[in-house]
Amino acid sequence: MIASKNPLSFTEMKLKNPTLFAAFLIISLVLSTQVLSQEVEDEKEFDYNKGSDKGPENWGKIHKNWSACGEGNMQSPIDLLDEKVEVLHHLGRLKRSYKASKAILKNRGHDIELEWENGAGAIYMNGTEYILKNCSLELHMVHESIDKKTAVVGILYKIGRPDTFLSELMGYIRTIADRHEAKEEVGIVDPRHIKLGSRKYYRYNGSLTTPPCTEGVIWTIIKKVRTVSREQVKLLRDAVHDGYESNARPTQPTNYRMDEKEFDYIKGSDKGPENWGKIHKNWSACGEGNMQSPIDLLDEKVEVLHHLGRLNRSYKASKATLKNRGHDIELEWENGAGERYMNGTEYILKQCHWHSPSEHTIDKLHMVHESIDKKIAVVGILYKIGRPDTFLSELMGDIRKIADRRDAKEEVGMIDPRHIKLGSRKYYRYNGSLTTPPCTEGVIWTIIKKVRTVSREQVKLLRDAVHDGYESNARPTQPTNYRMVHLYRPLRL
């Protein structure tokens, strides 16, 4: 998802062609001080020499907490070729509100860093605000957010005219050149002088490119290639004087990454339901499991039991967040929203999400519960087109706010799960699995027998909100494999 097959940064330079190279002005939107404290600033702990005991191929062995460098499956950088790219129109523009702020220039030994004392404004992604904290003149612009995630925006360069932002800092960089850990106050510096040059960008999920190689980093690469002068590149390399021809980590395996989608619902697709079990080793249950969900609930296969008992609930209103997960909309309660009791076990209500069309033949809501020993129980409610669902009606406005914005979140305050109407004491019960990868088995499924109603507008909003391009986000029904399905029906006195 990069305009060049060999994306490079000022610290990731591979000068294979003496007259042309690409470099990143990497804008690291690091969202937590915890991540910042993990970044290694002493280049003596690791190096970039191939075959060295401290080289990139051995980073994961140097410290226990650097293991992701060798074992991670979502590492950066990766070779992003245009033929692997999926064009999406709904990601949205990069919204920035930067401001001029007081800054200090630092020589960290392996790069030059510009640090804003009290932040320098913000950038917005998926509804989240990231405060600009520093930029290392590879460059990394580091932002911090309350939810402790990391994102990186990169700008590609080739040799040409000087970069105007770097030109502002050249004199200060010379002052701290070849002086490890030197600092220089540079007064007020305006990050708005960093030019992106294009609204088009690539995006993928990756990691930090230096130890500890922490994963979960959102990478955003600006498509347009800008220019930097030879003098500027030489000054940045000579200033740190680390003795390496480059300080670039080699490209890492893509490991099936293609934009944000690891699996899809398209029949016949390489990432479709029939192939989920082949995508990752720990997803093998999706293809090999004997207790998979969903299944076809036909009355003639059902055994009626009167002793299962009513569904005992003690739900409560709790603070919740609405999330766009790309394949569905999820409502998550921060600290649980009360309990439900099954077979003498207490299960805490954690979240609910919607599937359309339903995986048990009609539209469906999943209420996901978890016990203290991490067992899962799901209560499913079936819907047909009719009157609007009252619980969904409470959330329609907030769902619109995160519509078409993958990974967007919206705090929705106190939400009461008691507003979710079951409408019947009768229910089906069987043992199954999660209906998305990794398809973990051992899930207790409870499907309310009565079919409730939902409006066409509500169904359309839920589908359009995720904008995943699929007609449905429902896994096909799985073989019952002789499993017994029970129907609870209260005894009539």
Query: What would the pLDDT profile of 196-255 be if each residue is shown by its tens digit?
Result: 788 888 877 788 888 888 887 777 877 888 888 989 888 887 877 666 666 678 888 876
What was the pLDDT predicted at 26? Answer: 39
Q: pLDDT band for position 324 (50/70/90)?
A: confident
276 pLDDT more than 80:
yes
Query: Is the confidence at residue 189, as pLDDT, over 80?
Result: yes
Q: Please give, one letter per residue, the 3-state secondary structure of the chain.
A: CCCCCCCCCCCCCCCCECCECCEEEEEEEECCHHHHHHCCCCHHHCCCCCCCCCCHHHHHHHCHHHCHHHHCCCCCCECCCHHHCCCCCCCCCCEEEECCEEEEEEECCCCEEEEECCCCEEEEECCEEEEEEEEECCCEEEEECCCCCEEEEEEEEEECCCCHHHHHHHHHHHHHCCCCCCEEEEEEECHHHCCCCCCCEEEEEEECCCCCCCEEEEEEEEEEEEEECHHHHHHHHHHHCCCCCCCCCCCECCCCCCCCCCCCCCCCCCCCHHHHHHHCHHHCHHHHCCCCCCCCCCHHHEEEECCCCCCEEEECCEEEEEEECCCCEEEEECCCCEEEEECCEEEEEEEEEEECCCCCCCEEEEEEEEECCCCEEEEEEEEEECCCCHHHHHHHHHHHHHCCCCCCEEEEEEECHHHCCCCCCCEEEEEEECCCCCCCEEEEEEEECCCEEECHHHHHHHHHHHCCCCCCCCCCCCCCCCCCEEEECCCCC
| Residue 24 predicted with pLDDT over 60 | no
Does residue 291 surpass a pLDDT of 90? Answer: yes
Whether pLDDT at 12 is above 60: no
Per-residue confidence (pLDDT) for residue 72, from 0 to 100 = 85
Cβ atoms < 10 Å from Cβ of 392? 22
**Which of 88-92, 277-281, 310-314 is most confident?**
277-281
Residues of the chain with CATH 3.10.200.10: 23-240, 273-488
Mean of all residue pLDDT scores within the chain: 78
Per the residue annotation, which of 327, 360, 366, 369 is the catalytic one?
327
Given a cut of 60, whether residue 83 has pLDDT beyond it is no
Whether the pLDDT of residue 482 is over 90: the answer is no
d(CA 45, CA 69): 14
Specify the pLDDT at position 246. 64
> What does the alpha-carbon distance between residue 239 and residue 223 come to, in Å, rounded to a whole number?
28
The C-alpha atoms of residue 118 and residue 130 are separated, in whole angstroms, by 13
Q: Which residue has the higher pLDDT, 84 or 13?
A: 84
Q: What is the pLDDT of residues 342-393, one digit of tens each?
A: 888 899 999 999 876 644 445 689 999 999 988 999 999 988 889 999 999 9
- Please compute the mean of the pLDDT values over residues 448-456 and round it to a whole number: 90
Predicted TM-score (pTM) of this structure:
0.53
Supply the pLDDT for residue 439: 93
Degrees, nearest 5: CA angle 144-149-151: 80
CATH class of the structural domain 23-240: alpha beta
- Confidence class of residue 109 from pLDDT cuts 50, 70 and 90? confident
Is residue 327 flagged as an active site residue? Answer: yes
The alpha carbon of residue 159 and the mean position of all alpha carbons in its chain are separated, in whole angstroms, by 34
Residue 187 pLDDT greater than 70, yes or no = yes
Cis peptide before 250 (omega within 30 of 0): no
Between the alpha carbon of residue 358 and those of residues 253, 291, 363, 418, the distances in Å are: 36, 19, 4, 22
The CATH class given to the 273-488 domain equals: alpha beta
pLDDT, mean of residues 469-473? 64
More confident position, 216 or 274: 274
